[in-house]
Structure 1
Amino acid sequence: MSSSKSQVCYADAARLYCIIFLVLIVLLGSFTNNEYLIKKMNPEVGNACDEIYVVEEGETLHTISDKCGDPFILEENPHIHDPDDVFPGLVIKITPSGVRN
């Protein structure tokens, strides 16, 4: 009989610790920077780029936009007349979406 009582006691303690752990996770999640977490989980998305970016071999405006987090590259670079005519060495201005007003 006492073995049964100790098993119930351990189960109650384990349940309590799990509840406390889950509450802590929820609280910590509400205080963290979500953009930081997204970058940590997927380092290819939204990496910070310098304001002046030099196109590398094989890059497109779409891949640069994804890499740098700037969906308006074409609008900010009036010297690019054809979005398909992007070549290595082309210099473009980058403004990450989080910096916009």
Structure 2
Amino acid sequence: MRDSRRASSDMSAWCSAVVLLSLILLLSVRENNASDSLRGSQFSEKPCEEIYVVGEGETLHTIGDKCGDPFIVERNPHIHDPDDVFPGLVLRIAPFYFSRKVKHI
């Protein structure tokens, strides 16, 4: 009877260890997937190439928002009228990112 209890106790310990190890492994995989998706979004921060061709229905404002460049007119001296944007117009894009600087006191 004593051996039976010990065997039952050992089996219970092994099952608990397997369940715990499975949970750790599952959480680790989920964390890696989450960090991979964050890493992917870092690389996609610049959705536009340096040379951009205006598409149908786009404005300088929508292109600036999409590409992260609020200074499109300044970078493209061939644009004389910001309202005269048409499909096929070629623009130079340079994404502009605001950096957060923390001041230490």
Alpha-carbon deviations, 1:52-87, whole Å to 9, x = none? 222121112233234434343233223334433321
In the TM superposition, what whole-angstrom CA distance separates every residue of 1:5-56 from its partner, at most 9, and x where no partner exists?
A: 5345323322234325545646x93xx695x51178xx7x64242x222212
- RMSD across aligned C-alpha pairs, in angstroms? 3.8
Question: 1:11 is matched with which residue?
Answer: 16
Q: How high is the TM-score relative to the length of structure 1?
A: 0.53
Q: Which residue of 2 aligns with 1:92?
A: 91
Partner of 2:41: 38
Q: Which structure 2 segments of 5+ residues have no match? A: 98-105
Counterpart contact for 1:61–1:83, Cα < 8 Å: yes
Q: Unaligned 5+ residue runs, structure 1? A: none
* Runs of 4 or more consecutive aligned structure 1 residues displaced over 6 Å after TM superposition: none
Identical pairs, percent: 49
- 1:1-80 mapped onto 2 (5 Å cutoff): 2=8, 6-23=11-28, 25=31, 29=35, 34=38, 37-38=40-41, 46-49=46-49, 51-80=50-79
The alignment covers a number of residue pairs equal to 89
Note the C-alpha offset of 1:95.
1.7
- Residue 91 of structure 2 aligns to a residue whose secondary structure is strand
